[in-house]
A = this chain, B = another copy of it.
Amino acid sequence: MTAKRILIVEDEKAIRDMIAFGLRRAGYEVSEAEDCRSARAQIVDSRPDLLLIDWMLPDMSGLELIRTLRRAKDTEEIPAIMLTAKVEEQDKIGGLDGGADDYVTKPFSPRELLARIQAVLRRAAPAGGSDVVEVEGLKLDDSSHRVSTGEREIALGPTEYRLLHFFMTHPERVFSRGQLLDRVWGGSTYVEERTVDVHIRRLRKALEPFSLERLVQTVRGSGYRFSTRES
């Protein structure tokens, strides 16, 4: 399982840095935004697993940001936690009504924040939450079991689908043939390692018409990698 990615939307740099530091230590991949405009841009193109949103922001209230996100189909499932300095119950309820999954009142302990983040992430999983991954226009929607690029649909066999799904959820990392057999085929089966090559080949062939085969890269001597960057 890849590290979960969290986006912090908070205008005060000091607080942002402190939170980011704590989360990185806990193994999360953290990105930051200081206003709603840049937050939305980042959300759309990097699809974080969770959002930490400050209540007060320069351009738009955090609550509004959440409401906006909930209205769009591809962002509605991203869980969000509100950070607020206000303590009035009314505001807390407002935060929940607007679609935040939880809220944390400042000042808060790093530990409390971590606990809540974990709780929210755990909760998102069984719901079958954000099971759509998108990289370079290649979109894989696990709930509908579809792979497409823009308009056109890409047909994949079951194994190629699982392979691509695994790659897309674990990008930028090299996997040996043995590891892929373990994680994509399942640990209990025995098949030749070279079989992986063949399925890689089939996956590439399916992506070729869309010039996306470059995403599946060979790392000579080590295995394969799914990456947007050229090797």
Contacts and interface: CB of A to CB of B under 8 A. Distances in A.
A107 B225 CA distance: 44
Interface of A: 25-27, 70, 76, 89, 92-93, 96-97, 99-103, 111-112, 114-116, 118-120, 122-123, 126-127, 143-146, 153, 155, 157-158, 172-174, 219-222, 225, 227, 229-231
Contacts of A123: 102, 115-116, 119, 127
Nearest to A117: B96
A177 to B, nearest CB: 14
A119 to B, nearest CB: 6
A82 to B, nearest CB: 11
Contacts of A103: 111
Give the one of A89, A111, A123, A230 with max B CB within 10 A.
A123
Given A144-B174, A225-B145, A112 B119 contact: yes
Q: How many copies does the complex hold?
A: 2
A164 to B, nearest CB: 14
B96 A230 contact: no
A102 B129 CA distance: 12
A107 to B, nearest CB: 13
A127 B89 CA distance: 16
Contact of A158 (B143, B144, B222): B222
A41 B174 CA distance: 30
Contacts of A225: 144-145
A146 B171 CA distance: 13
28 contacts: A25-B93, A26-B96, A26-B97, A76-B122, A92-B111, A96-B115, A97-B118, A99-B122, A100-B115, A101-B118, A101-B119, A102-B111, A102-B112, A102-B123, A102-B126, A102-B127, A103-B111, A112-B119, A115-B123, A116-B123, A119-B123, A123-B127, A143-B174, A144-B225, A145-B219, A153-B230, A158-B220, A158-B221
Nearest to A173: B143
A212 B50 CA distance: 40
A127 B27 CA distance: 24
Contact of A127 (B114, B119, B145, B229): B119
